[in-house]
Chains A and B, each alone.
Chain A
């Protein structure tokens, strides 16, 4: 297959005729490594700048941190203890399927840490290490952690198939947290976290640029539709605060969904605003497994909500942000019930209890559709033959609506309400069994492009099937990472990059704005 970028040695694997388990190729991806964060990037977010000169110091610090995490997260200890090496997970990881490297089998990825855990934290491993697969933490082991914990997208597909429910993502997060605590961070994620604190979003988009971009969108939509749809920023007293990934302000096709959110609020007559301070829904604190960063980033949303006096908080199309919002915002920030510090209590009084707090933009749109408050010209999407890619954090770590599985149905319901041509991909690749796009969890960086391309294989195979059978030409998704990742990797598999887009991009195409004849 023609690679669009001849310079880097990036190779897409061939499509498989049957989805068989690949023959292993030991160490196939041992040289695909993230860039290490500089001391400047590390120190800006409170981590040690680099590894200590003296290995013993790093060793003790790493084991010490591991002990703290085992105390703090019972789940981590259970996961490290419970595995019986049954093998159910081995071929469930898209990175193993795409790379054949056995260390990308979820069980092997866990064992990178489990072996060290046994050596230092279990009696058998302390006394008879070689009998129980226990090993010392050495510099080589730490390097191996850095390589392979940054080849996991924390998508949690393996956990669906594990009879014990072991969540590899949590082990990956612990691995990354230990690495950060000894000064061995990943450049991509930690640089981004620094930008959120300094500028307000992952992109580093300052307020005036955001305003300029939004003004441009208003002009564009006016030109297209002859309607004054507003994209308001920092409006005091608006009903809804929309928090969306900053990629929605910058990248294609992301921005098309942002246009769609604005049209939904316009058509429903709901006053809304974006915020300069909370101009990022994404929260890479989760990717690096660091609670303090997770909380600090989330608190920006609370501050913005209190300052603007909004009644509702709505999250845009971003997969991991929705996990953070749905599962963690309540105790982190008091959005939803749970936190009990004075600011959280104040926020809970301020938010309107008639609505789910927070709500996903898809929940908002679907509720409005059901209430008959939105009208569509479905034929406007007739040029599109659509399928839907479930994003891992939405599918396996959150919910929408008021019943289990709502997170699968609601985006599909919206698509079917705004378009006529819809086809599902194979059932072992959708809903809770969905395959990661290949770029999640902090892997969406250029130096990892080869593994991103390879990790996309199972999704690309499923897509190929519906392209061939039904002529699908639009894969809708509700995650900024999925959109950017697919835009980049689709051409390696012979597809056009424009084949991916957002659910609200489809909404945007078909929605009536109230000026129809």
Chain B
């Protein structure tokens, strides 16, 4: 496999960015991830994941608009690059091929 290594948290962030279609920036990403996964996420973790993703070329960013609750500071909006999309795709395929090979998928734990 010659794709770039992605950490688990990075993968989630990347997925979330993809889901949000160009409306993704630090604080909303944090809230979205917290909501979806139920884990507590700190803002600095999100930012460092974004930085790393950007260094790996999987997201790109541009400066967006400001709001008054931001104290007039502008957002940095992130979108997934083609490379990022392909990586996500690959991950998904790998996972699915494994799932398919799983002989009997897990039974619900309430069986007798």
Q: Do A and B come together as binding partners?
A: no
Interface residues of A (CB under 8 A from B): none
